Amino acid sequence: MGKRDDFLSGRRIRAVKPKTFSNLLDVIESFDFSGAYNAGRLAEACRVYERMVKDDATIALTLAGAFTPTGLGSYIIHAIERGLVDLIISTGANLYHDMHFALDLPLYQGTSNVDDEKLLKHGIVRIYDIFLPDETLFETDKAVQRFVEELSLKVKSPISTSEFHYLLGRWLLDNAPRPEESILATAAKYNVPVYTPSPGDSSIGMNVSKAKLLGKGIVVDPDLDVLETAATVYCSEKNGVIVLGGGSPKNFYFQTQPMLDQILGIGGGGHDYVIQLTVDVPQYGGLSGATLQEAVSWGKIRPREDVSKVTVYMDITVSAPLLFSYMFSKNYSRVHKNIYLKRVDFIKRLKADYSKR
């Protein structure tokens, strides 16, 4: 391959349309019957997800790793639509790449066996075996910059990342050609708050910084995120989480329990249900591979004898679609909790109860 068009000749990556599969239920049942290795753990994860829904737990989803560029974000979108995800904590990069689909900007199937200097020469960036032409990035940047410029005229006080992403999602609903293919837009539509622990660590954050350099910026305050997420957990009868990949989003959700117990001294006790999908292992000390049992020692997960926490050691581009498809095939759905609309009241309740100590 020598010409730019040669590199971009792969099939364009489109948003996958989740389906229901009756035979998938048979596959998961066979995994359950075996009970061995990660087939057994995936079956357990499906059961834990079912328990979260049946117990009406507030279900969080944390997202790390380059998941959205694959087009598989549609599984998360469908879960939001069904009320199976109540709040999201994601890396900023996943949200930036999510915007490509809303804006109908192309990503292509490529290869990892490539001369990256040639890609640089031709204005193509690579995420393993996915190719993105520079134009996709530039047009997404323009959209973020336009949004931030408009937002800076309306918002003068610091805002949480959930408010920033909600308003960005609403902007996509009004201005993007394909908002139904965006996690951000769908989350805004159903009042699912979306948080980013490190808002500056992404192209969205870089574009926000550019606006600030030009005197058109806004202030995004992560401290508000800490309070909102802790208050949401505090005001929920039961809490569960699906951890995709680990990383900072994993800890940002887990730390809500030490925030309540260790810092504020009110409540805590640990999360009730945890599903962790990862390929990382614990012996190197990284958070993505840290075991759920270790989290019990921190008070992040409630110690229980029944199966309420499970780790599946599997690529999230395989395990997450299987997990969500199982729930779709079982036709699970719930009334939306509209957490975004309640977050301020949750903080007021948390503050009032803390003041009574």
The string of pLDDT tens digits covering residues 333-356 is 999 999 999 999 999 999 999 998
> Is the predicted pLDDT of residue 206 greater than 90, yes or no?
yes
Of residues 87 and 268, more confidence is placed in 87
* Range of lowest pLDDT (25-29, 40-44, 159-163): 25-29
Overall average pLDDT of the 29-40 stretch? 84
pLDDT grade for 307, boundaries at 50, 70 and 90: low
CATH code where residue 185 lies: 3.40.910.10
Catalytic, 300? Answer: yes
Overall average pLDDT of the 285-296 stretch? 80
Total domains in the chain come to 1
For 167, 261, 327, the CA distances from 184, given in Å and listed in that order, are: 9, 31, 21
Residue 271: which domain range? 4-355
> Is the predicted pLDDT of residue 5 greater than 90, yes or no?
no
Contact 196, 91 (CB under 8 A): yes
Helix axes 134-152, 161-175, angle to 10 degrees: 110
Q: What angle do CA 299, 59, 30 make, to 5 degrees?
A: 100
**Of residues 300, 337, 348, 351, which has the active-site annotation?**
300
Tokens representing 272 are: 């009730």
Q: Closest Cα to residue 61, out of 79, 42, 87? A: 87
Contact 68, 97 (CB under 8 A): yes
Query: How far apart (Å, rounded) are the C-alpha atoms in residues 80 and 183?
Result: 8
> Is the predicted pLDDT of residue 31 greater than 80, yes or no?
yes
Looking at residue 25, what is its pLDDT?
Answer: 84
> Is the predicted pLDDT of residue 20 greater than 70, yes or no?
no
pLDDT grade for 285, boundaries at 50, 70 and 90: confident
Contact 164, 148 (CB under 8 A): no
Residue 41 is given by DSSP the state H
Of residues 304 and 62, more confidence is placed in 62
Of residues 190 and 294, more confidence is placed in 190
Looking at residue 321, what is its pLDDT?
Answer: 95
Average pLDDT, the chain: 92
Overall average pLDDT of the 173-186 stretch? 98
> Is the predicted pLDDT of residue 19 greater than 70, yes or no?
no
pTM over 0.85: yes
Query: How far apart (Å, rounded) are the C-alpha atoms in residues 19 and 21?
Result: 6
Which amino acid, residue 79? Answer: A
> Is the predicted pLDDT of residue 101 greater than 90, yes or no?
yes
Percent share of the chain, pLDDT over 70: 97
Percent share of the chain, pLDDT over 90: 75
> Is the predicted pLDDT of residue 289 greater than 90, yes or no?
no
333 CB-contact burial (10 Å; exposed 0-12 / middle 13-18 / buried 19+): middle
Looking at residue 27, what is its pLDDT?
Answer: 85
